[in-house]
Amino acid sequence: MQLIIFDFDGTLGDTRRNIVTTMQMTIAELGLAGRTDDECASKIGLPLDGCFRSLYPDEDKETIRLCADTYRRIFQENLLTMKPQLFPKVKETLSALKAKGYTLTIASSRWHKSLSGLTHDLGIAEYISYLVGADDVEKAKPHPEPVLKTLSATGFDASQTLVVGDMNVDILMGLNAGAKTCGVTYGNGTRRELEEAGADYIIDTIDKLIDIVR
Q: What is the pLDDT of residues 179-194, one digit of tens each?
A: 999 999 999 999 999 9
CATH label of the domain that carries residue 203? 3.40.50.1000
Q: Do residues 114 and 42 share a domain?
A: no
Residues 120 and 155 both lie in one domain:
yes
Distance of CA 44 to the CA centre of its chain: 8
Clarify whether residues 180 and 140 are in a common domain: yes
Tally the domains of the chain. 2
User: pLDDT grade, residue 214 (50/70/90)?
Assistant: confident
Residue 167 — very low, low, confident or very high, per pLDDT cuts 50/70/90?
very high
The domain boundary, picked from 78, 100, 116, lies at 78
40, 99: one domain: no
Residues 42 and 117 in one domain: no
Kindly state whether residues 50 and 89 are assigned to the same domain: no
Check whether residue 125 and residue 176 sit in a common domain.
yes
Query: Do 167 and 91 belong to one domain?
Result: yes
Four-point Cα dihedral 86, 88, 89, 95, nearest 10: 10
pLDDT of residue 46: 86
Q: Mark which of 78, 101, 124 sits at the end of a domain.
A: 78
Quick: pLDDT tens for 30-44. Answer: 999 999 999 999 898
Residue at 126: amino acid letter: E
Residues 177 and 72 in one domain: no
The chain-wide mean pLDDT, for the chain, equals 96
Question: How far apart (Å, rounded) are the C-alpha atoms in residues 88 and 1?
Answer: 24
Q: Which contacts of 29-38 are long-range, i.e. CB under 8 A and separated by 24 or more positions? A: 29/70, 29/74, 30/63, 30/66, 30/67, 30/70, 32/56, 32/59, 32/67
111 and 64 together in one domain: no
| Pairing status of strand 130-132 against strand 13-14 | unpaired
Q: What is the residue range of 196's domain?
A: 3-14+85-213
* pLDDT of 166 over the 90 cut: yes
Identify the pLDDT of residue 28.
97
pLDDT at 83: 87
Q: In what order do the strands lie in the sheet with 103-107?
A: 130-132, 103-107, 3-6, 161-165, 180-184, 201-203
**Residue 183 bridge partners (DSSP):** 165, 202
